Structure 1
Amino acid sequence: MDIVLRATVVFFLLWLVIRVTGKREVAQLSAFDMIMVVTLGDLVAQGVVQEDYSLSAAALAVTTFCVLSLVLAWTHFRFPVTRPLLSGRARVVVRNGEPILEVLSSEHLTIEDVEEAAREKGIRRLREIELCVLEVDGGFSFFTVDEPDEREGATEDHTLQ
């Protein structure tokens, strides 16, 4: 019966936290948000089923994480200068059909990662890409040239396989 009571209290605590912090679709969650969700799940599990952790400790941990998350969100909104530090910056990984290897390397990406994302957008060749931007959420934005045949004379043809 103790576990049912604990689970009920934690359920309503999490419901309240979600109502206060807002909802986002899973596709909109950043990597940090996903780590936070997993960590919160672990904290909740400890508070619900383990005897060596009190319910109040689990509630305090969840509340602390949520307050810190709200503080970061407020800081991000209120002080634009902190946005690159808190969220990162978008980076150009392909320009005029040529991958920027230094950026790919520093972001721990391979050219195959870019090619896969391009194929998902219906882009068959890197030379069709005017600009490929790695966004702060980890997604790619592609800007293609108007005429794919413009660069036909390029010496290196990166055909995506």
Structure 2
Amino acid sequence: MFFDDWTGLLRTVVVGVLAYVAIVLLLRVTGKRTLSKMNAFDLIVTVALGSTLATILLSESVALAEGILGFAVLVFLQMLVAWASVRWQVVRDIVKAKPTLLLHKGRILDEALVDTRVAPDEVMAAVRSSGHASLEQVEAVVLETDGSFSVVGPSPDGSTSALANVPMPSGTA
């Protein structure tokens, strides 16, 4: 139960080192975008890579070459979807969530909070962590596509161009 033999441990070390080197090289070749946290699809790929690594390490029924091929397939698919989403709006709409306005001009948008399952306390925490003492000091709080909060302060010239791609609920103009 605690120890079978030394060959199992040796296999884990050798395969672990080689799989680690393979995934690092693959990620270096494919660029930073592969492990970004830009949307849910990117998160899925990151989790799947970790799961594949664990399977390679702990399952003797999966050969190192099969695991490395699994890494390559996941990374290739992620690159293909990212490439297509940059070029075609329909693909972008399928794989990427839209940012959601949670607070506008100091007023919390209750319906948006319910739709996104965000508590008012979380919005207030985001405002505080951005250095604002009052909701009225904030132009907007946006729930971004990666699940993070962006707090947008007032612009000296009144411009809200950073909110151009954020759908505005009716009555927030």
Superposition TM-score tier, normalisation by shorter sequence: 0.7 to 0.9
In structure 2, relative to structure 1, the CA distance for the partners of 1:138 and 1:34 (3 Å cut) is: same
**5+ long unaligned stretches in structure 1:** 148-161
Aligned to 1:64: 73
Aligned with 1:109 (options 113, 118, 124): 118
1:121-147 C-alpha deviation (Å, 9 max, x unpaired): 111222222322222222223333479
Aligned with 1:118 (options 107, 112, 127): 127
Aligned to 2:24: 15
TM-score scaled by structure 2? 0.71
**5+ long unaligned stretches in structure 2:** 1-9, 157-173
Aligned to 1:136: 145
- 1:78-117 pair list within 5 angstroms: 78-117=87-126
Aligned with 1:50 (options 52, 59, 81): 59
Distance of 2:143 and 2:13 partners within structure 1: 45
Distance of 1:115 and 1:19 partners within structure 2: 38
Displaced runs of 4 or more, over 4 A: none
SS at match of 2:94: helix
Aligned to 2:15: 6
RMSD of aligned alpha carbons: 2.5
1:78-114 C-alpha deviation (Å, 9 max, x unpaired): 2134323322111111122211111111111011110
TM-score scaled by structure 1? 0.75
